Amino acid sequence: MLAVPTDGRTDHRFAPCTAGTTGATVISDITQLIYVSQPFGYDGATLGAILLDARRCNTRDGITGALVCRHDVYLQLLEGPTEKVTAAYARIIRDDRHAGVKELVNRKVTDRIFPDWAMLHDPAKSWIWSEEEMSAGALERATPADIIGLFEGLSAKVNADPSD
């Protein structure tokens, strides 16, 4: 059984490679999926359970990512093997702790934004929209590039100051 670090970093016991007849090859089937949902019954215990589940499953499945959240919204990026990301998203859709799940970005990538995180938790410290802006439709007006940029900025911030 894999040990899941409590801070959400990956333990690097899964490798982003597959063995082939000519040696290891880099997985090129990496999907990046970003979705938004509304928390149902949001509190510290619920969030803790979501993060524990995500980190355990993501470590097992070779998925990395980040969850930006506050009481009114979850915005999550998942990245990893397409089949595993698709299965994780299907579990999230069925999870009654999420309401109104909506896919915002689904794309193939060659590099991960959060390669060292089974699931980074950002309690909306990096949030670019206030609750009022969200209520006024900021997320609906955001382009995929805006949303990806939010996560790229979060990654840069965490890499610059991992203690934050």
- Cα 104 to chain centroid, rounded: 13
Cβ neighbours of residue 3 closer than 8 Å, sequence gap 6 or more = 11
Residue where the block lists tokens 């990512």? 65
Q: What is the pLDDT of residues 67-117, one digit of tens each?
A: 888 888 889 999 999 999 999 999 999 988 889 999 999 999 999 999 999
Whether the CB-CB separation of 112 and 79 falls below 8 Å is answered with: yes
In a domain, 7, yes or no: no
In a domain, 1, yes or no: no
pTM: 0.79
Mean pLDDT across the stretch 110-128? 82
In a domain, 9, yes or no: no
Cross-strand bridge partners of residue 122 = 68
User: Is the predicted pLDDT of residue 148 greater than 60, yes or no?
Assistant: yes
Instruction: List the CATH number of the domain containing 24.
Output: 3.30.70.100
